[in-house]
């Protein structure tokens, strides 16, 4: 039997960049086939070609043995190939149901949308997939995790034979990811072939049958999961051994740097207080929606506080806007790089400069050599793969966008850096680099607050860990006594327990 889907000799060039160079891939019915590789390796580009979003320069795609060349996503869908993109593509101002059935809304004889039927159908699909989201609500009111689940539901609502998922779990908690993976296994058992992109090795070993590795746009190899190891895959991806993912911790706490006193978020009852010390990495654990990002945004001045004080170097400070924070030397790397972090239409250079401009000048700004050097410095330090720093950020791969965002905040040389899911969508090698970079920053005296939904990362990086639940800090652990189990227990504990 021919493979369900096969790609041979796929080549695709962008200006100044050969994104794919003679790449091949084959997918069997019922198989979960992982695609791995560093940021910018060409994974998303290949998936876009297979799903009709863009066209290869050369090469051949075969579907059930027949040569095909989908030129639009719609054509690919007609064949039975659906894709869930790395960056979410829902319409925020429409309901969940309308997003699940775009262009396929049930209408009555007068062409009017039958909303009753629409919501019922959407509700059925969501329920079948075990997604606890109300089809009536607007997408913009959902967390990123729930938006991701809606996106997947949308792709799965069509009866596709090939499902392509581009980093579907990067915004999900472990628990949500487990549910999704279990779901994918059931789907595969029904004969659907799944192409699964992820940087998370653990997931790949949990769910995939085979894995294909790309490096710098080239095909490196395909392995059967049961016959390979994480180390071998890292070698294939990175071309060398990586060693320890986490730097050694701070042995000694420094002087108090920063303090939050009785901060209450609007609409919440809880008061939160904590201190941050010089040279410390303070981890924030908790479930998605537990209030970590809200607290961080309130501290940074990106969201209002109902009440509370912030102290810096032993003095109260006023923070009413991000501008105030930046002027005080506080940086905040938001969890959603697309919505809050980056100007996608602008160059890497301008993005890296943006926060510095806020920090160094309040008047009209002319970019000079200093700023250009800065951008180049961080692009080099973070290994952003790009032909030049003039490249528009939207043309970068997802992981390289994230690196640009990190660079932007390093560039202000903050005294306090709050990072929210700093390694989301980042490849293993770059992840290690960011860990070491954050630690080096701490060693130079900076206080780092790190929010992460990846428990091994929180444990591996933090000197101290605060756990949030329903808008409140409910537990504190020192690195030495923290365990995954204790954190999970605190994160899901109910008030008063």
> Residue numbers of the site for ligand ATP (CB under 6 A)?
14, 17, 19, 37, 39-45, 86, 385-386, 395-400, 427
Using CB under 5 A as the binding rule, whether residue 398 contacts Mg ion is answered as yes
Q: Of these partners, ligand ATP, Mg ion, none, which one is at the site of residue 42 (CB under 5 to 8 Å by kind)?
A: ligand ATP
Cβ atoms of 485 and 305 closer than 8 Å: no
In this chain, which residue has its C-beta nearest to Mg ion? 44
Q: How far is the CB of 45 from Mg ion (least distance, A)?
A: 8
Contact window for Mg ion (CB under 5 A) among 43-51, 205-213, 370-378, 467-475: 43-51
For residues 44 to 63, the per-residue mask of contacts with Mg ion, x marking binding by CB under 5 A and - elsewhere, is: x-------------------
Show contacts with Mg ion in window 453-492 (CB under 5 A): none
Task: Check if the beta carbon of residue 163 is closer than 8 Å to that of residue 79.
Answer: no
Distance CA 29, CA 160 (A): 12
Selection from ligand ATP, Mg ion, none that 17 binds (CB < 5 to 8 A by kind) is ligand ATP
Pairwise CA distance, residues 83 & 131, whole Å: 18
What is the bridge-based pairing of β-strands 281-286 and 464-469? parallel
Q: Identify the burial level of 369 via C-beta atoms within 10 angstroms of its C-beta, where 0-12 means exposed, 13-18 middle and 19 or more buried.
A: exposed
The CB-of-487 to ligand ATP minimum distance in angstroms stands at 28
Contacts of 141 by beta carbon, 8 Å cutoff, 6+ apart: none
**Closest to ligand ATP by CB, 305 or 337:** 337
Neighbours of 66 (CB within 10 A): 9
For the CB of residue 462, give the shortest distance to ligand ATP in the complex, in Å. 25
* Partner from ligand ATP, Mg ion, none binding residue 37, C-beta < 5-8 Å depending on class: ligand ATP
Q: Which residues lie closer than 8 Å to 1 by C-beta, 6 or more apart?
A: none
Other Cβ atoms less than 10 A from the Cβ of 330: the count is 26
Query: Are the beta carbons of 406 and 430 closer than 8 angstroms?
Result: no
Report in angstroms how near the CB of residue 256 gets to ligand ATP at its nearest: 38
Which among 7-15, 56-64, 118-126, 392-400 is the span making contact with Mg ion, rule CB under 5 A?
A: 392-400
CA distance 209 to 125: 27
Beta bridge partners of 34: 196, 211
> What does the alpha-carbon distance between residue 366 and residue 384 come to, in Å, rounded to a whole number?
24
* In the complex, residue closest to ligand ATP by CB: 399
- If binding is defined by CB under 5 A, does position 401 make contact with Mg ion? no
Q: Give whichever of 117 and 381 is closer to ligand ATP, judged by the CB atom.
A: 381
Quick check: 148 binds Mg ion (CB under 5 A)?
Answer: no
Q: Which does 3 bind (CB under 5 to 8 A by kind): ligand ATP, Mg ion, none?
A: none
CA 383 to mean position of chain CA atoms = 18
Shortest separation between residue 103's beta carbon and Mg ion, angstroms: 26
258's tokens: 């920063």
396 binds, among ligand ATP, Mg ion, none (CB under 5 to 8 A by kind): ligand ATP
How long, in residues, is the chain?
497
Binding residues (CB under 5 A) for Mg ion: these are 44, 86, 397-398
């Amino acid at each position: 039997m021919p493979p369900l889907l096969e790609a041979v000799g796929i080549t695709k060039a962008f200006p100044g960049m050969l994104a794919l160079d003679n790449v091949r891939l084959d997918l069997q019915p019922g198989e979960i086939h992982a695609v791995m590789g560093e940021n910018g390796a060409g994974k998303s580009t290949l998936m876009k070609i297979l799903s009709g979003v863009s066209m290869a320069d050369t090469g051949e795609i075969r579907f059930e043995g027949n040569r095909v060349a989908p030129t639009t996503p719609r054509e690919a869908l007609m064949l039975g190939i659906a894709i869930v993109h790395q960056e979410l593509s829902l319409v925020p101002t429409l309901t969940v149901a309308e997003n699940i059935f775009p262009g396929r809304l049930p209408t009555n004889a007068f062409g009017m949308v039958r909303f009753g039927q629409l919501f019922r159908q959407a509700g059925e699909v969501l329920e079948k997939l075990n997604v606890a989201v109300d089809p009536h609500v607007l997408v913009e009111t959902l967390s990123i995790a729930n938006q991701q689940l809606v996106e997947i539901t949308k792709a799965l609502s069509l009866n596709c034979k090939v499902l392509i998922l581009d980093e579907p779990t990067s915004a999900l908690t472990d628990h949500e990811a487990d549910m999704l993976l279990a779901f994918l296994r059931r789907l595969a058992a029904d004969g659907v072939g799944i192409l699964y992109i992820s940087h998370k090795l653990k997931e790949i070993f949990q769910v995939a049958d085979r894995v294909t590795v790309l490096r710098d746009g080239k095909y490196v190899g395909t392995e059967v999961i049961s016959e390979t190891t994480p180390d071998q895959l890292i070698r294939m991806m990175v071309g060398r051994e990586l060693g320890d993912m986490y730097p050694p911790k701070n042995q000694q706490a420094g002087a108090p740097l920063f303090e939050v006193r009785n901060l209450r978020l609007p609409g919440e009852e809880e008061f939160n207080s904590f201190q941050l010390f010089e040279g410390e990495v303070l981890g924030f654990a908790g479930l998605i929606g537990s209030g970590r990002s809200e607290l961080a945004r309130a501290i940074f001045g990106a969201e209002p506080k109902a009440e509370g004080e912030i102290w810096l170097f032993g003095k109260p400070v006023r923070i009413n806007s991000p501008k105030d924070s930046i002027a005080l030397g506080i940086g905040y790397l938001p969890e959603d790089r697309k919505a809050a972090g980056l100007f996608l239409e602008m160059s890497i250079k301008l993005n890296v400069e943006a926060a510095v401009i806020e920090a160094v000048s309040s008047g009209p700004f002319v970019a000079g050599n200093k700023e250009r050097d800065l951008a180049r410095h961080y692009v080099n330090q973070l290994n952003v793969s790009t032909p030049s720093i003039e490249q528009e950020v939207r043309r970068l791969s997802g992981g390289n966008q994230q690196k640009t965002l990190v660079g932007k905040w390093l560039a202000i040389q903050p005294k306090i850096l709050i990072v929210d899911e700093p390694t989301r969508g980042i490849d293993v090698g770059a992840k290690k680099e960011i860990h070491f970079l954050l630690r080096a920053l701490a060693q130079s005296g900076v206080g780092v607050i790190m929010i992460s939904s990846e428990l091994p990362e929180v444990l591996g990086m933090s000197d101290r860990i605060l756990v949030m639940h329903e808008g409140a800090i409910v537990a504190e652990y020192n690195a030495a006594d923290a365990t995954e189990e204790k954190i999970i227990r605190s994160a899901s504990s109910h008030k008063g327990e």
